[in-house]
């Protein structure tokens, strides 16, 4: 059922996009999504340069992590645990 619905919608949108249409709105072609897609540029697969800069000087900053865990775990000391039900 889903496949039939998907195929029907794909066919409908293809026919609607290919059919000639009139721009009757106040802004005309500016509001028409079909015309905007027809005039769009082709997609490119340009990958940006993600390499770190080569002229890094000085020492890296010290990374401070969370404080070290010390002490006994909860419940190891009598009376520290929640009371038994």
pLDDT tier at 57, thresholds 50, 70, 90: confident
Domain boundaries, the chain: 2-38
pLDDT tier at 3, thresholds 50, 70, 90: very high
More confident of the two residues 11 and 29: 11
Q: Which two tokens stand for residue 27?
A: 């802004």
Alpha-carbon distance 37 to 49, whole Å? Answer: 29
**How high is the pLDDT of residue 71?**
73
Is pLDDT at 55 greater than 80 in this prediction?
no
According to DSSP H, which parts of 1-85 are helical?
Answer: 2-18, 33-38
**How high is the pLDDT of residue 81?**
60
């Amino acid at each position: 059922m889903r496949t039939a619905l998907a195929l029907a919608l794909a066919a409908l949108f293809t026919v609607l996009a290919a059919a000639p249409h009139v721009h009757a709105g106040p802004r005309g072609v500016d509001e028409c999504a079909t015309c905007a897609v027809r005039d769009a540029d082709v997609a490119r697969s340009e990958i940006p340069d993600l390499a770190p800069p080569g002229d890094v000087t000085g020492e890296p900053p010290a990374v401070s992590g969370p404080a070290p865990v010390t002490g006994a775990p909860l419940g190891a000391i009598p009376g520290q645990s929640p009371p038994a039900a």
